[in-house]
Chain A
Amino acid sequence: MDITHSMNTTPKNIDELVAEGYQHGFVTDIETDVIPPGLDEDVIRFISQRKSEPEWVLESRLKAYRHWLTMDEPKWSSVHYPKIDFRAISYFAAPKQKPALSSLDEVDPELLRTYEKLGIPIEEQKALAGVAVDAVFDSVSVATTFRENLAEAGVIFCSISEAAQEHPELLRKYLGSVVPHTDNYYAALNAAVFTDGTFVYIPKGVRCPMELSTYFRINAQNTGQFERTLIIAEEGSHVSYLEGCTAPMRDENQLHAAVVELVAMQDAQIKYSTVQNWYPGDAEGRGGIYNFVTKRGDCRGDRSKISWTQVETGSAITWKYPSCLLRGEGSVGEFYSVAVTRGMQQADTGTKMIHIGPNTKSTIVSKGISAGKGHQAYRGLVRMAQRAENARNHTQCDSLLIGDRCGAHTFPYIEVKNPTAKVEHEATTSKIGEDQLFYCRSRGLSEEDAVSLIVNGFCKEIFNELPMEFAVEAQKLLAISLEGAVG
């Protein structure tokens, strides 16, 4: 079955989608420049040199690397995996490319065909939808479209590598300011070996004229993906960023340790949406992606707002806690999440809302669906500091269990040091009701459809937060993810 995965196709019926399976399981033939596995200072110098980085970038990489050597791998979550051998990973893979392509005609046609299979018809559909795409192919950005449009508005949307060359002052000022390399083990590793990522800068008062998106792919065997994203929204600016990932089938687990930093100044708003579809491993749980990501938003300015919306359906193991530091007075943090685990997937994910300033507000809505032998845990922290006068948090965590071999867990940590702060947390765990299923079926729906309908209803609140086209892909993903899970 060769169905092109495209963002704007008409809705398929469930059976077709169900039969698609993991259709992104293929590998590109393009020769890649892969360095031998292993990690030491020389590897880092190689990466830096290959990217022609300024001296200060190399210095901060080395500093992070040296710190990483002193750290211990974290062991605390309810997730179990075989020990990762960091020396067996190759830290750089770039397709042989001519740099600085002025138009898409110059891009390797094989590459473009890869993008098409991935459902990124850059030329047409994206243009019509008004979405600029920075498609990251392995470790070096290849195609960057619509930069002129954005440049007119003053918006900078480029790869980190380019930012290091063209906007070094900005990069230097903000990189590592939200997630320092000392933050955690994977952040340190990332700070040492990050190969590329996205840099976004929205100047004062500008509403970014289009939704920004980036696709990721891990290709070469044993390549870890160490992407780095930095989004800076100056006073009064608005931006909506979409992140969607896919990856090919592999037997060896592949590590993905990304770092995302968001900075929102006074009255600025950043909306960060993710639809994650990394390869989850086969039925025995072999070969999937390990997704260990540090995502943090710093609401620096008063009345700034950062929203994280995610639909996680892939990865063998997910470990991510998109968080918000609510510093500015009246700043707002939001976290909307749907996480699906099935087969042998494990997820330990959640959020941290740290209320530092007064009148700050946070909303957490987490929906977990667990099927097969999947296990997921919501792990959240809501902290109200002493100065968080009149701060508010509302958290709702709901888990839906499909089948009796899976698990869903909730570990909320709530720490309050200010009496005027108000925290409300609620969590429920249940299964799809027999009554609900029967009702749908008595109206003519198949069991599969009924489950899909009910699960979609369960996740509706989250899908409503996604930019429209992502919402459609998310719903399809959900349906595919639950294929065969019921019964």
Chain B
Amino acid sequence: MNTAEQTGTDLISVLHQGQRLLTPLPAALDWLIPLRERGAQGVAAMRLPGRKDEAWRYTSLAFLEQAEYRPLIEGPFDALQLDDVDEMLLNGHEGDRLVFVNGYLAPALSALGGASGGVVVSALAGGLGEVPASLRARLGEIAEQQHPFSALNTALMSDGALIHVPRGVASEKPIEILHVSVGTEQTGICHPRHLIVLEEDARAEIIERYCSLGDAVYFNNVSIEVSLGAGSELVHSRSQEESQNAQHLSDLQVRLGERSRYRLVLASLGGAWSRSDVRVTFEGEGAEAELDGLMLARDKQLNDVHLDIRHEVPHCSSRETFKGILDGKGRVVFDGRILVAQDAQKTDAQLSNDNLMLSRSAEVDTKPQLEIFADDVKCSHGTTVGELDGDMLFYLRSRGIPQVQATQMLCQGFAQEVLDRLPSEALRARTGKVLAERLNQTAA
């Protein structure tokens, strides 16, 4: 109920506005109608989560009251030149690159043809030709709508990368999905939607990145579905470098078939408000998941990661290593749930969350959780919160390194364990650089 005087965002209004913009839908996109309908129903049925909802206990949605978010429309961003985004591109990237500007594919900025034989790279809105039936069938079948934002994404999804790696195909080069956000007059909300399907014994590497031009104001409401067939392997890097005035909410849901391997490295460095939900469901035996993450929260940033690792079948293993660095009035919220179902015997699940607080006004709320219903399992979690170790600082200073530099070196060292897991050299270098810059900006 938005009156003229009242600011604030009501998701139902956003839904209706978005639906209006999407009408009429080009015939080629008719296939999305039932899915969008399902999303719309979800938005109407689910209320906005609040502090009483366990999963949102520490994560405030107050920012929705401060501005009126409007769906982003495909704007005059075709005018965006390669030069404008040059600084964001990864050096030496040879594989396919899909660039989305404010949620819509920008063919002029993208580079295709680098993927190896058989890999199907398509765009939701049809920008790369008709979306093949194999992908159409899978969209919306992998993820469950967890909250009204994921339902909103399903109802209003703008565009996104749909990647299909057929049986036995190994994609030789990593595929990059780059989001560039450009500020508009209003506070825009956009809904990128990605789908990654690997068939039996397929292999691929995906690099998913979020950058912005300047300190734009916007809300990226992202949904990513990943399905790994038996014996397949996916290496998935996600780098979130959103503007310091933006909101970023991503819902990543992964289903692992037997003997498949999923590796995720998440570097969440930007945004005024950022939340990454990652759900990994083991559907076949003998599968493995390794998740590493780095969360940076400084100034008044909120950085929230919620993991939901579901061992529903036996003989799978999972390992999560998440690190938070806080400065200024930054806040890190971490929730790492490991669920082991009754028949999921021989599960091996380990989780750790370590948080480094660099300032007096920072705050950490961490909750690693274990829900175990099977007995022949090995499960553990550990979490620490603290500041830089005095012994370590002294060691560096006693060698002549000044306090400020010593602090930076140790922070970098703390983050390095996660950064080292990024398979792309270029991404590792860039992320290290961005991290250093952002830490320097608030160095005492």
Contact of B357 (CB < 8 Å), options: A402, A413, A416, A427? A416
Shortest distance between the CB of B334 and any CB in chain A (Å)? 9
B377: which A residues are within 8 A, CB to CB? 401, 429-431
A350 to B370, alpha carbons, bound, how many Å? 14
A428: which B residues are within 8 A, CB to CB? 378-380
For residue B360, CB closer than 8 A to chain A, the reply is yes
> Which of chain A's residues 18-47 have a Cβ closer than 8 Å to chain B?
none
Q: When the two chains form their complex, are residues A423 and B383 in contact, meaning their CB atoms are under 8 A apart?
A: yes
Q: When the two chains form their complex, are residues B373 and A407 in contact, meaning their CB atoms are under 8 A apart?
A: yes
A417 to B380, alpha carbons, bound, how many Å? 25
Q: When the two chains form their complex, are residues B380 and A425 in contact, meaning their CB atoms are under 8 A apart?
A: no
For residue B117, CB closer than 8 A to chain A, the reply is no
Closest-by-CB residue of A relative to B390 is: A420
For residue B265, CB closer than 8 A to chain A, the reply is no
B345: which A residues are within 8 A, CB to CB? 404
For residue A422, CB closer than 8 A to chain B, the reply is yes
B366: which A residues are within 8 A, CB to CB? 414, 416
For residue A187, CB closer than 8 A to chain B, the reply is no
Contact of A424 (CB < 8 Å), options: B362, B376, B384? B384
B375: which A residues are within 8 A, CB to CB? 401-404, 406, 431
A429 to B338, alpha carbons, bound, how many Å? 11
Closest-by-CB residue of A relative to B354 is: A424
Shortest distance between the CB of A88 and any CB in chain B (Å)? 30
A415 to B355, alpha carbons, bound, how many Å? 12
Q: When the two chains form their complex, are residues B379 and A430 in contact, meaning their CB atoms are under 8 A apart?
A: yes
Q: When the two chains form their complex, are residues B367 and A423 in contact, meaning their CB atoms are under 8 A apart?
A: no
Q: When the two chains form their complex, are residues B363 and A417 in contact, meaning their CB atoms are under 8 A apart?
A: yes
A408 to B370, alpha carbons, bound, how many Å? 8
For residue B371, CB closer than 8 A to chain A, the reply is yes
A314 to B267, alpha carbons, bound, how many Å? 47
B381: which A residues are within 8 A, CB to CB? 410, 425-427
Shortest distance between the CB of A252 and any CB in chain B (Å)? 30
A414 to B383, alpha carbons, bound, how many Å? 9
For residue A287, CB closer than 8 A to chain B, the reply is no
Closest-by-CB residue of A relative to B337 is: A411
Closest-by-CB residue of B relative to A393 is: B385
A405 to B372, alpha carbons, bound, how many Å? 10
Contact of B371 (CB < 8 Å), options: A406, A409, A414? A409
B385: which A residues are within 8 A, CB to CB? 384, 414, 416, 421-423
Q: When the two chains form their complex, are residues B382 and A425 in contact, meaning their CB atoms are under 8 A apart?
A: yes
For residue B374, CB closer than 8 A to chain A, the reply is yes
Q: When A410-B370, A412-B367, A414-B365 are in contact, do A429 and B379 touch as well, CB less than 8 Å?
A: yes
B379: which A residues are within 8 A, CB to CB? 428-430
Contact of B368 (CB < 8 Å), options: A405, A418, A420, A427? A427
Binary A-proximity of B197-218 (CB < 8 A = 1, otherwise 0): 0000000000000000000000
Shortest distance between the CB of A212 and any CB in chain B (Å)? 37
A410: which B residues are within 8 A, CB to CB? 368-370, 381
Q: When the two chains form their complex, are residues B342 and A416 in contact, meaning their CB atoms are under 8 A apart?
A: no
Closest-by-CB residue of A relative to B376 is: A431
For residue A419, CB closer than 8 A to chain B, the reply is yes
Total chain B interface residues with beta-carbon distance under 8 A: 35
A422 to B382, alpha carbons, bound, how many Å? 13
Q: When A419-B359, A427-B381 are in contact, do A412 and B387 touch as well, CB less than 8 Å?
A: no
> What secondary structure prevails in chain B residues at the interface with A?
strand
Q: When A399-B372, A416-B357 are in contact, do A422 and B386 touch as well, CB less than 8 Å?
A: yes
> What secondary structure prevails in chain A residues at the interface with B?
strand
A423 to B374, alpha carbons, bound, how many Å? 29
Q: When the two chains form their complex, are residues B384 and A425 in contact, meaning their CB atoms are under 8 A apart?
A: yes
Contact of B380 (CB < 8 Å), options: A384, A408, A412, A429? A429
A421: which B residues are within 8 A, CB to CB? 385-386
Q: When A404-B374, A425-B383, A431-B377 are in contact, do A419 and B358 touch as well, CB less than 8 Å?
A: yes
For residue B165, CB closer than 8 A to chain A, the reply is no
Q: When A420-B387, A421-B386 are in contact, do A415 and B364 touch as well, CB less than 8 Å?
A: yes
Q: When the two chains form their complex, are residues B357 and A419 in contact, meaning their CB atoms are under 8 A apart?
A: yes
B368: which A residues are within 8 A, CB to CB? 410, 412, 425, 427
B326: which A residues are within 8 A, CB to CB? 419
A409: which B residues are within 8 A, CB to CB? 369-372
A405: which B residues are within 8 A, CB to CB? 342
Shortest distance between the CB of A482 and any CB in chain B (Å)? 14
Q: When A418-B360, A426-B380, A430-B377 are in contact, do A407 and B386 touch as well, CB less than 8 Å?
A: no
A420: which B residues are within 8 A, CB to CB? 387
A403, A407, A412, A414 interface centre (most CB from chain B within 10 Å)? A414
Q: When A415-B364, A416-B363, A429-B377 are in contact, do A423 and B370 touch as well, CB less than 8 Å?
A: no
Shortest distance between the CB of B301 and any CB in chain A (Å)? 16
A415 to B384, alpha carbons, bound, how many Å? 11
> Which of chain A's residues 368-397 have a Cβ closer than 8 Å to chain B?
384, 386
B364: which A residues are within 8 A, CB to CB? 414-416
Shortest distance between the CB of B379 and any CB in chain A (Å)? 4
Shortest distance between the CB of B340 and any CB in chain A (Å)? 8
A425: which B residues are within 8 A, CB to CB? 368, 381-384
A412 to B380, alpha carbons, bound, how many Å? 13
A429: which B residues are within 8 A, CB to CB? 370, 372, 377-380
A413: which B residues are within 8 A, CB to CB? 365, 367
B384: which A residues are within 8 A, CB to CB? 422-425
Shortest distance between the CB of B89 and any CB in chain A (Å)? 37
Shortest distance between the CB of B411 and any CB in chain A (Å)? 13
Binary A-proximity of B375-415 (CB < 8 A = 1, otherwise 0): 11111111111110000000000000000000000000000
B357: which A residues are within 8 A, CB to CB? 416, 418-419
A433 to B373, alpha carbons, bound, how many Å? 17
Shortest distance between the CB of B73 and any CB in chain A (Å)? 41
Shortest distance between the CB of B281 and any CB in chain A (Å)? 19
Q: When the two chains form their complex, are residues B378 and A430 in contact, meaning their CB atoms are under 8 A apart?
A: yes
Q: When the two chains form their complex, are residues B372 and A427 in contact, meaning their CB atoms are under 8 A apart?
A: no
Closest-by-CB residue of A relative to B386 is: A422
A69 to B366, alpha carbons, bound, how many Å? 35
A401: which B residues are within 8 A, CB to CB? 372, 374-375, 377
A411 to B372, alpha carbons, bound, how many Å? 11
A419: which B residues are within 8 A, CB to CB? 326, 357-360, 362, 386-387
Shortest distance between the CB of A305 and any CB in chain B (Å)? 23
Q: When the two chains form their complex, are residues A404 and B376 in contact, meaning their CB atoms are under 8 A apart?
A: yes
A420 to B377, alpha carbons, bound, how many Å? 36
Additional A-B contacts beyond A422-B387, A429-B378 (17; CB < 8 A): A399-B370, A402-B375, A404-B376, A406-B375, A410-B369, A414-B364, A414-B365, A419-B387, A421-B386, A424-B382, A425-B368, A425-B382, A426-B381, A427-B381, A429-B377, A431-B375, A431-B376
Between-chain CB contacts (< 8 Å), 23 pairs: A399-B372, A402-B375, A403-B375, A404-B342, A408-B370, A409-B369, A410-B370, A413-B367, A414-B366, A416-B355, A417-B362, A419-B360, A419-B362, A419-B386, A420-B387, A423-B386, A424-B382, A424-B384, A425-B381, A429-B372, A429-B377, A431-B375, A431-B376
